[in-house]
Structure 1
Amino acid sequence: MNDSTTRPDLPDHLSIDPRSAHHVAAVFEHDIGIRFNGKDRADVEEYCVSEGWIKVPAGKTLDRKGKPLMLKLKGKVEAFYR
């Protein structure tokens, strides 16, 4: 198992898109969980704890570049290692 001392601190703002300025590859070497308004979410693409929002795909809808269209949901966000 991974020791909590070897895990990097979870950033306030994190994105799974490697082209984003908020992508931290070292964090994704571990299993991350996101709790939004008290419920665990598995479909979060990006989050910001301090501003209280997450971005999730809007079903199968794609934007003009072929990427999933994102919805921004506001509420209480908690990020944690599993």
Structure 2
Amino acid sequence: MNDTKQLPPLPDRLSTDPRSPHHVAAVFEHDVGIRFNDKERQDVTEYCISEGWIKVPAGKTLDRKGQPMLIKLKGKVEAYYA
């Protein structure tokens, strides 16, 4: 198991998109898990714990730049190192 002293703290808001200002590369060197409304989610692209939302892809639809269309779901968000 990973030593928790070496893990960077999980930010309040995090995005998997490297172009986002909320992307923290050091966090993604470790496995991050998201629990949304007490259920594990594997498809989360962005989250905000304090505002209580996650963004997930809306099926297979893409925007005009080829990126997946995202929908925002509101609820209880917990982030942790897996």
Shorter-normalised TM range: over 0.9
Unaligned runs of 5+ in 2: none
Query: How many residues are paired up?
Result: 82
Give CA deviations for 1:2-53 in whole Å, capped at 9, x if unaligned.
2110000000000000010000000000000000000000000000000000
User: Where does 1:67-78 land on structure 2 (aligned, <5 Å)?
Assistant: 67-78=67-78
* AA matched with 1:73: L
Q: TM-score, normalised by structure 1?
A: 0.98
User: Where does 1:31-42 land on structure 2 (aligned, <5 Å)?
Assistant: 31-42=31-42
Structure 1 runs of 4+ aligned residues shifted over 6 Å read none
* AA matched with 2:39: K
Q: TM-score, normalised by structure 2?
A: 0.98
Q: C-alpha distance in 2, partners of 1:44/1:32?
A: 10
Provide the secondary structure at the position in 1 that maps to 2:78: strand
* AA matched with 1:34: I
User: Where does 1:1-82 land on structure 2 (aligned, <5 Å)?
Assistant: 1-82=1-82
Unaligned runs of 5+ in 1: none
Q: CA RMSD in A?
A: 0.6
Q: C-alpha distance in 1, partners of 2:2/2:19?
A: 27
